[in-house]
Structure 1
Amino acid sequence: MRRLAKPLSGSTQWLDYTGTTRIVPLLGGRANLAELAIAGPAGRIDGVALRLYDPATRRWRIHYANLRDGALTAALSGGFAQGRGEFFGDDSFDGRPIRVRFRIHCPQPERCLFEQAFSADGGKQWETNWLATDTRIGDGGA
């Protein structure tokens, strides 16, 4: 996983992390919980995402909390088309309003790519600030 050290500042310094994401399916696949535990030279990031599916709209909502402060971010909403997921939401960063875009693409069943970007101008320009590649290492079952 890589994250931009100082998003929306003009900085191009990236920080690298390694770790795990554990996915727990819930409610027959209409929800899941993703536990993130990663570390690198810049420290640890531990978080949890609750992803909820609305079958009436065929949309997902993603709720995330960094365990550093336990606060939930504003929900992202979106869906999947042709094997790619795209989710958007409004949030704030360093006290200013932003748009957030989160993309998921799984080119292989055991490998998924994640990208997060911020926009400070209502979505006209995007700055990618989070890149991750998740590779399945097992089910975790006995």
Structure 2
Amino acid sequence: MAGKILIVDDEIHIRMLLEQTLEELEDDYGVELLTASDGEEGMEIIQEEQPEVVFLDIMMPKMNGYEVCRSIQESPEPNGSKIVLITAKGQEIDKKQGLELGACMYLTKPFDPDKVLLVAKELMNLE
């Protein structure tokens, strides 16, 4: 059975673009796409659904991407979600902080949809 991908971004057009980019995985592999509009909602979905991959924005209301990463790391229950930070914050210090908090990858906006698709396939061991 194919897994789940969660997209967490407060900007609806970014969520829609990521969904459109990843819908090929839905069609070809049966991957389930989930979305959240802020970090708090994203955290709830991560705990309930245990997605394999989470594309996570950093700058969001309620709970930012760094806080979500920290919460996942500090959770007593193991979580196998692979976090890919996807953000306009492209400074090396931002990248370093994200990776230290448990993200496995860091992509900057504007992102290349082909790269996002490739990353998702790699992290889910598809193809």
How high is the TM-score relative to the length of structure 1?
0.27
Larger proportion of helix = 2
Larger relative contact order (Cα-Cα within 8 Å, sequence gap ≥ 6): 2
Larger proportion of strand = 1
